[in-house]
Amino acid sequence: MNLGDMGDAVLAHAANILTLITGSNVVKQMVIGLRSPSRIYYPSTGSNFGLIVHLHGFDTVGEGSGVSWLKLNKLTSNYALIAPNGIKNPEGSRYWSGSDACCDVLDQGVDDAKYIRKIIEKEIAKGLVDPRKVFITGHSNGGFMTYRFACEHSDLIAGIVVISGQSFYDNAACQNLDKSGNARKISVLHIHGTADANILYNGGSIMGVQFPSVAGSISSWQENLGCTVTDLELSESITIDSNNLVTEVYVPAASSCPAGAHIEHWKMVNEDHVPAFSNAFRTKLAAWLDAHPKPE
């Protein structure tokens, strides 16, 4: 039995073990499967809010990425946040089994996509989350995993936000994972710095395994969403980081994507792998999420 199967076997025993009130959030800590505890940040009031599941990068942790860095728990009062942890490799580095390029190099056989799906289903079952407002966000290795989840479980989410990650080098691998038949009904936002020296903007490789460029990831997802595969159009220039660097916002041409599908790129000019996001980023991201619920 692999770790993913064992996690499923004990999932039914997951339970809340701690409740805290902190600022604008109610924080509940839960144990799911064999993973380390994950905190869930709920808005302090209301219900029927959206849900963000944030996936950390390689050799980091969910709290550090989703809370300390991105501060997604402070996005708005309209979203709950879960930032779970990937498993550890033999060197002790946490990771997600994303695409073929990143980062299950030892083939440990863990079905992270299934694990993330169980998290979402558990939250929806509580009756507090609007099923039309569930989003996956991911940074770096977590971004690769976010694209993989969208390939495999798009029926469960409204959209994805990928920061400094890429999709499959061979898009056929993604299309073969689509079990839902509903891949054309999500929204995709790809955020990437042009000076990223880790996951290169123009593509590269990890331990000899290639990953696509931003343009390649976008064209693959135009195909996956049923959009016309063509260059996105510059919509506006904004500033969303503390270094006051320009971010160019690219959107599809009018009528180039079917109803219910959207793809967008925020090109952070001269920004690196870990952008210094400002509060303006969180404001802009919240508006994007609000504008892209899953179609009825």
Distance CA 296, CA 294 (A): 7
Q: What is the pLDDT of residues 209-238, one digit of tens each?
A: 899 999 999 999 999 998 999 999 999 999
Percent composition of the chain: helix, strand, coil (DSSP 3-state, to 5): 30, 30, 40
Closest CA to 214 of 189, 246, 188, 192: 192
What are the Cα distances from residue 40, in Å, to 10, 19, 33, 220? 19, 9, 15, 33
Burial letters 97-108, b for 16+ CB under 10 A, else e: bbbebbbbeeee
Average pLDDT of the chain? 87
Q: How far apart are the two ends of the chain, measured CA to CA in Å?
A: 39
**CATH classification code of 3-291:** 3.40.50.1820
Distance CA 174, CA 151 (A): 5
Q: What is the pLDDT of residues 119-129, one digit of tens each?
A: 999 999 999 89
What are the Cα distances from residue 272, in Å, to 29, 47, 83, 168? 33, 37, 23, 21
Closest CA to 224 of 155, 272, 174: 174
Measured torsion, CA atoms of residues 253, 196, 186, 251, in degrees rounded to the nearest 10: -10
pLDDT at residue 24 tops 80: no
pTM over 0.75: yes
Q: Which comes out higher in pLDDT, residue 15 or 111?
A: 111
Q: What is the pLDDT of residues 158-196, one digit of tens each?
A: 999 999 999 999 998 887 766 555 557 899 999 999 999
- Split at pLDDT 50, 70, 90, the class of 240 is very high
